[in-house]
Amino acid sequence: MTWKNLPVRMYVLVGSIDQTRSNSLLQNFGQEMREVNRQMVAIINTLITVGGSFAFGFWGVQFAYPHLGLDIAERMLLGLVCATIVFFADLYFIIKSMSDDEIEEKNEAKKKKWVESSNISLQKKCQ
């Protein structure tokens, strides 16, 4: 071993330990930002729809049926029931879309592996 080969050999030895040298931290930054943006939109959408359904249950019954004379506790309960139903419906669709995304990612990974394996087999046939 010579002194000239020492930095190259050290890089080879350390390269497998230090992952920041092989994978940049900002490599998938754009994709991660799009994912965070999509999740934030889903959270804000859920908050707005649940709040709107509570308002509908709380004030809507007062405007639609003023002759009932419901007190604030009954209107609060009606608003909470409406908001709870809408919350669980939104939660169902959020979970469903998350599972659909995972299925799509698995299918894309399978397609990528298939394309890579077919490219390798074609390269072997051409040689």
Residues 51-60 pLDDT 10s: 999 999 999 9
Model confidence at 31, pLDDT cuts 50, 70, 90, reads confident
Higher pLDDT, 118 or 43: 43
Mean pLDDT of 66-90: 94
User: What pLDDT does 6 receive?
Assistant: 61
Tell me whether residue 17 is in a domain.
Answer: no
Instruction: Report the C-alpha gap between 35 and 59 in whole angstroms.
Output: 36
Tell me whether residue 81 is in a domain.
Answer: yes
Tell me whether residue 2 is in a domain.
Answer: no
Tell me whether residue 92 is in a domain.
Answer: yes
Model confidence at 72, pLDDT cuts 50, 70, 90, reads very high
**What six digits make up the tokens of 87?**
């919350």
Domain containing 46 equals 38-126
Domains in the chain: how many in total?
1
pTM here is 0.61
